[in-house]
Amino acid sequence: MTDKHKVAIVGGGSFGTAIANIVADNGHDVCLWMRNAERVAEVNEQHSNSAYLPDISLNPALRASTDLAETVKGCDVVFVAVPSKSCRDVARQLAPLLADGTMVVSTTKGIEVDSNELMSEVLREELGNVSIGVMSGPNLAKELAAREITGTVIASADEQLTQCIQDLLQCSYFRVYAGSDIYGVELAGALKNVYAIVAGLAAALGVGHNTISMLVTRSLAEMSRYAVQKGADPLTFLGLAGVGDLFVTCTSPLSRNYRVGYALGQGRDLNEVVAELGQVAEGVNTLRLLKQQSQQLDIYMPLVNGLYAIIYEGKTVQEVIGDMMWAEQNRDVEFAVQKS
């Protein structure tokens, strides 16, 4: 093993807990911050987090705490794994607690509603002199926690950070790839949530494999089109953080956003579905932002527009499909070159 690190995971949901468990398995000193005292006690005494990862045994060396200052004290690496709506508030609490140069990695796949900023941008604004990275990929937390073979991407402008996270997390079932396109990796993770809702809705309607295949590839085209307009590298979307994450979240019922879409396809109410889920489905908030941005930037995003029309404008699925099928037929693959 490489140098031993002192690590904090801020956010004790399913993914935060899974990452914390890997760090503990790899022999590093790790503490998991959670708001709920009962769940903290469960992690510390029973070595489980049944609310988010039922039937998963956690490493006994993994500690949990409700005290944020205690959790991050002396840490050289901090993972932020809270929902996007909580990120800025948590970052403000973290700011006076982190030493200069601390490596901070966001694992949140979402966009802040009020500012339209990604989590790395929020952290950069609030935390001051720290090193920022983002981690994203086809990482369903339950499979990762069950130690099934998984890959992810860590992206940062700081090569020392990417190397450190690779060394920290790499193990027999978790492969960590490095990248420098922090914006593209993070944007891919946020955008794919919307298309997972579309795919879940389609699955509930009993569409065929041809249709699902078309949905996934057209989703990738929309994501890439938007990303290029926002300054990301379109090639990022051909890797794990792009098509890899899109594929898994559009085909697996373990995906929260997919489950939201599936329930909508069964005719259920959105608010009821989200409340029943008990966890954040980031795609619901991201959909509103993408709809607004696509109009402002004049980006062709028919799947976003169609889903928005179904959820917020009362259109039927049949009406939306009809509009899409008779829309202007564009090129299958578009290669965009970024302006210098």
Measured at the CA of 121, the angle between CA 167 and CA 293, to 5 degrees, comes to 125
| Rounded Cα gap, residues 268 and 120, in angstroms | 34
142 belongs to the catalytic site: no
- Residue 239: CB atoms within 10 Å: 19
Burial (CB < 10 A; 0-12, 13-18, 19+), residue 328, is exposed
Amino acid at 208: G
For 163, the 3-state DSSP assignment is: helix
34 within 8 A of 90, measured Cβ to Cβ: no
CA distances to 30, 188, 194, 239, 290 from 230, rounded to whole Å, are: 36, 12, 17, 18, 12
User: Where do we find the tokens 């069964």?
Assistant: 266
- Residue 327: CB atoms within 10 Å: 11
30 sits in which H/E element: strand 29-33
CA distances to 4, 110, 295, 306, 331 from 298, rounded to whole Å, are: 49, 22, 5, 16, 18
Choose the catalytic residue: 6, 73, 192, 230.
192
What does the DSSP assignment read for 325-338? HTS----S----PP
Query: Sign of the CA dihedral 17, 23, 24, 26?
Result: positive
| Rounded Cα gap, residues 134 and 311, in angstroms | 30
- Which tokens belong to 277? 């889920």
Catalytic positions, please?
Answer: 192
